[in-house]
């Protein structure tokens, strides 16, 4: 079916016609069939058009997970508009920036954010209407009910953007990645081929819809005709309970959530036998957490590596690679490219391919690639080459068997005495030490070597960090030039709203007054 589909409106119509009474989406105890779901999407289309929205316009959603966001995204696909989903974890000035950058004319707001939006309302000049979603003051249902379904379909081109997700960014403001029908369909089709998602699947959507792991995962389920079971927030205990009681077959988590799940009492005693694929990614998983999860979820774990600019997943490490004790080194790899994706390692300075096994920048080419960054042609040109390669900004290498290893962001690389050092390698080793609860490695100035690695660690609960012991531990497991030369112990590491460590903030005190500032 997806082989002939070129847009998500036709996909929704297909499932409405062929499986009208099958469940499409469940949330908060309410299940809607494909026919009910499609009707609401078309009412959303009618309401958008009644509000004066035209193809190319943006709407925005600031909410925890709610089916209305997916309905709005599919309505945008039919109307030719685009849904800019806002990261609700951003600080108010950043939220204002994203909404204004998208030029959203309509803003959908969940009850948790109504007060914040009221305070920033006069700073949102393009927003003509704010619609409350859910809670005691819900306006969304009346907004839909006031309109009969509109069946007129904007003739979407494959390269038309219908959902706009903002990259988190560790410096500057987020950029809006314009995700297209072609890209999202390619992602859905490619992942379906490798992860056995079909119309009988029961897909748990636990990750936020502002994240590619939430929205793309939802659209994957819709493409497959699967049943979405949506969580408002990724609560570890509630997610585990849903896996068991709702007989979930597919889900996606980030490692931090899985680490929290391991601490839930009785989690290993539950029945997860319906689960066919548990995907995890978006950040490195510490090996102790991975080993704990492998005991509970044997034979179904898929590590995935991806990016917003590629609509989601580009490589995966399957269950068989997780289970081979003779090749445990694969546990720190990101697997091999999924169906339909090419990955090469290029010299970040010249763009030339590097030999197998040599480190460089990860470049990705596929039909999944974004349409570009909204309103930022120069950033788009810097990211996507004329022949379709996306420069990921991630450092890594590919081994002789084709397995991809993601080491670090290129900008976080430490150059010490001419040697390239990727902090993630050191962090992975330090995370294994029982006294370390959290860790980041940065480059600090050194008169002899230019810069050297420093470990900044948070002690594990109840533990005391011994600098000499940690440094000795590193010398046992790393080449000497990679070993940190010092250790700082802090109460917590600075992170951005999506949980990424702000290494620029960690580095800043050490580089003040220096001729060279590492950023």
Q: How many domains does the chain have?
A: 2
Residue 283: alpha-carbon gap to chain centroid: 9
Tokens coding 70? 């997916």
Residue 368 sits in the same domain as residue 282: yes
Among 1-5, 170-174, 289-293, the range of highest mean pLDDT: 289-293
Q: What is the pLDDT of residue 92?
A: 87
Residue 308: alpha-carbon gap to chain centroid: 6
In this predicted structure, the answer to whether residue 104 has a pLDDT above a threshold of 70 is yes
Helix axes 8-18, 67-79, angle to 10 degrees: 110
- Residue 461, domain CATH: 3.30.300.30
95: nearest Cα among 78, 109, 77, 80: 109
Residue 294: alpha-carbon gap to chain centroid: 22
Listed in sequence order, the residues at least 6 apart from 122 whose beta carbon sits closer than 8 Å to its beta carbon are none
- Residue 226, domain CATH: 3.40.50.12780
Q: For the stretch 152-178, what's the b/e string if a residue is b when 16 or more beta carbons lie within 10 angstroms of its beta carbon?
A: ebbebeeebbbbbbbbbebeeebbbbb
| Least confident window among 4-8, 18-22, 385-389, 484-488 | 4-8
Categorize the per-residue pLDDT at 116 as very low, low, confident or very high, splitting at 50, 70 and 90.
Answer: very high
Residue 55 sits in the same domain as residue 161: yes
Query: The domain containing residue 462 runs over which residues?
Result: 413-511
In terms of pLDDT, which residue wins out, 285 or 212?
A: 212
Q: What is the pLDDT of residue 3?
A: 47
61: nearest Cα among 214, 201, 171, 191: 214
Mean of pLDDT values over 236-254:
97
Output the average pLDDT for the chain.
92
Q: Specify if 337 maps to a domain.
A: yes
Residue 388 sits in the same domain as residue 423: no
Residue 302 sits in the same domain as residue 438: no
Residue 340 sits in the same domain as residue 420: no
Q: What is the pLDDT of residue 32?
A: 98
Q: Specify if 173 maps to a domain.
A: yes
Q: What is the pLDDT of residue 283?
A: 73
484: nearest Cα among 438, 434, 437, 429: 429
In this predicted structure, the answer to whether residue 517 has a pLDDT above a threshold of 50 is no
Compute the Cα dihedral for 156, 142, 109, 38 and give only its sign: negative
Q: What is the pLDDT of residue 93?
A: 84
Q: Specify if 1 maps to a domain.
A: no
Residue 197 sits in the same domain as residue 307: yes
Residue 56 sits in the same domain as residue 173: yes
Residue 358 sits in the same domain as residue 422: no
Q: What is the pLDDT of residue 500?
A: 79
Q: Specify if 333 maps to a domain.
A: yes
Q: What is the pLDDT of residue 449?
A: 80
103: nearest Cα among 212, 211, 176: 176
Categorize the per-residue pLDDT at 417 as very low, low, confident or very high, splitting at 50, 70 and 90.
Answer: confident
Residue 465 sits in the same domain as residue 392: no
**Listed residues 338, 367, 398: the one ending a domain:** 398
Among 30-44, 165-179, 325-339, the range of highest mean pLDDT: 30-44
Q: Specify if 408 maps to a domain.
A: no
pLDDT digits (tens, 9 = 90+) for 472-505: 999 888 878 889 999 999 999 998 776 778 888 9
Q: Specify if 223 maps to a domain.
A: yes
Q: Specify if 64 maps to a domain.
A: yes
In this predicted structure, the answer to whether residue 2 has a pLDDT above a threshold of 50 is no
pLDDT digits (tens, 9 = 90+) for 23-76: 999 999 999 999 999 999 999 999 999 999 999 999 999 999 999 999 999 999
Q: What is the pLDDT of residue 285?
A: 81
**Listed residues 398, 431, 450: the one ending a domain:** 398
Q: What is the pLDDT of residue 418?
A: 66
Give CA–CA dist 261/374, Å, rounded.
Answer: 37
Residue 329 sits in the same domain as residue 427: no
Q: Specify if 91 maps to a domain.
A: yes
Residue 222 sits in the same domain as residue 272: yes
Mean of pLDDT values over 328-352:
94
Q: What is the pLDDT of residue 286?
A: 78
**Listed residues 354, 372, 398: the one ending a domain:** 398
Residue 425 sits in the same domain as residue 363: no
Whether 91 contacts 62, CB under 8 Å: no
Q: What is the pLDDT of residue 411?
A: 78
Tokens coding 37? 């779901």
Task: Tell me the C-alpha to C-alpha distance, in Å, between residue 279 and each of 35, 130, 382, 512.
Answer: 29, 36, 31, 41
36: nearest Cα among 48, 49, 52, 20: 20
20: nearest Cα among 3, 43, 7, 37: 37
Give CA–CA dist 133/210, Å, rounded.
Answer: 16
Mean of pLDDT values over 456-484:
91
């Amino acid at each position: 079916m997806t082989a002939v589909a070129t847009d998500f409106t036709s996909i929704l119509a297909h499932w409405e016609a062929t499986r009208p009474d099958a469940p499409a989406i469940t949330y908060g105890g309410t299940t809607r069939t494909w026919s009910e779901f499609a009707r609401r999407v078309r009412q959303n289309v009618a309401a958008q058009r009644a509000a004066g929205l035209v193809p190319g316009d943006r709407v925005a959603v600031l909410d925890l997970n709610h089916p209305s966001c997916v309905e709005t995204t599919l309505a945008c696909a039919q109307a030719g508009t685009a849904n800019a989903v806002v990261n609700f974890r951003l600080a108010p000035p950043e939220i204002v920036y994203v909404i204004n950058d998208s030029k959203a004319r309509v803003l959908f707001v969940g009850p948790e954010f109504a007060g914040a939006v009221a305070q920033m309302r006069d700073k949102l000049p393009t927003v003509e209407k704010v619609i409350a979603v859910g809670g005691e003051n819900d306006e969304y249902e009346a907004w839909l009910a006031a309109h009969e379904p509109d069946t007129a379909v904007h003739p979407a081109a494959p390269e038309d953007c219908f959902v706009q997700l903002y990259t988190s960014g560790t410096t500057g403001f987020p950029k809006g990645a314009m995700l297209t029908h072609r890209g999202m369909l390619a992602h859905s089709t490619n992942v379906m081929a490798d992860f056995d998602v079909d119309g009988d699947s029961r897909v748990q959507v636990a990750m936020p819809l502002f994240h590619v792991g939430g929205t793309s995962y939802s659209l994957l389920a819709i493409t497959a005709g699967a049943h979405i079971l949506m969580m408002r927030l990724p609560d570890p205990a509630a997610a585990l309970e849903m896996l068991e009681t709702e007989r979930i077959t597919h889900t996606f988590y980030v490692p931090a959530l899985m680490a929290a799940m391991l601490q839930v009492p009785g989690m290993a005693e539950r029945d997860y036998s319906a689960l066919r694929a548990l995907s995890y990614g978006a950040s490195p998983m510490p090996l102790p957490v991975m080993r704990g999860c492998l005991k509970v979820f044997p034979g179904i774990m898929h590590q995935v590596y991806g990016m917003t600019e590629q609509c989601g997943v580009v490589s995966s490490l399957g269950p068989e690679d997780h289970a081979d004790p003779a090749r445990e080194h694969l546990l720190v790899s990101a697997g091999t490219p999924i169906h339909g994706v090419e990955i090469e390692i290029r010299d970040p300075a010249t763009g030339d391919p590097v030999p197998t096994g040599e480190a460089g920048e990860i470049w990705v080419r596929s039909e999944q690639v974004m349409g570009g960054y909204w309103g930022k042609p120069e950033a788009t040109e810097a990211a996507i080459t004329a022949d379709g390669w996306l420069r990921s900004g991630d450092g890594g290498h590919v081994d002789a068997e084709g397995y991809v290893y993601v080491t670090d962001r290129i900008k976080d690389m430490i150059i010490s005495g001419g040697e390239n050092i990727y902090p993630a390698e050191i962090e992975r080793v330090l995370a294994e030490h029982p006294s370390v609860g959290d860790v980041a490695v940065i480059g600090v100035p050194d008169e002899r070597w230019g810069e050297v690695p420093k470990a900044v660690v948070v002690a594990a609960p109840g533990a005391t960090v011994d600098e000499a012991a940690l440094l000795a531990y590193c010398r046992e497991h790393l080449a000497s030039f990679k070993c940190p030369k010092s250790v700082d112990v802090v109460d917590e590491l600075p992170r951005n709203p999506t949980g990424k460590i702000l290494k620029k903030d960690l580095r800043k005190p050490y580089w003040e007054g220096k001729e060279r500032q590492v950023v």
